[in-house]
Amino acid sequence: MLSDLGYAVVETTSAEEALTLIEGGLVPDMVITDHLIPGMTGANLARAVRTRWPAMPVLVISGYAEDGGLAPDVPRLTKPFRQGELAASLATLVTAPTG
């Protein structure tokens, strides 16, 4: 869906791999993660990204209704969703004030 919306996507197999890529110089416009991923959870990845790079937008996608350890200010999109809902979440994410 992200590619269909015109985004260039870099996929990783774990949160740790994502952090390693960013620490190694990858500068994404945003980080989008599923909540249940190998290794650390999406909530933990969001926390790590916000701690190290406070201005980087993060969106956590989850199939669960409960917050699962997400900070209330972390944007979240609940599965299932349509492409339009994803597009709206991303538009809000990149225009929201950070910090």
| Token code pair at residue 32 | 């989008």
Q: For the residues 35-53, what does the mean pLDDT come to? A: 88
| Token code pair at residue 43 | 């909530």
Provide the whole-model pTM.
0.85
Q: For the residues 67-71, what does the mean pLDDT come to? A: 63
Q: Which residues contact 90 (CB under 8 A, 6 or more apart)?
A: 5, 7, 30, 32, 59
Rg (CA), the chain: 13
Per-residue pLDDT at 64: 67
Confidence of residue 37 (pLDDT cuts 50, 70, 90): confident
Domains located in the chain, CATH noted: 15-95 (3.40.50.2300)
Give the pLDDT confidence of 2-33 residue by residue, as tens digits. 999 999 999 999 999 999 999 999 999 999 99
Q: CA–CA separation, 12 vs 28, rounded Å?
A: 13
Per-residue pLDDT at 65: 53
Q: For the residues 73-82, what does the mean pLDDT come to? A: 88
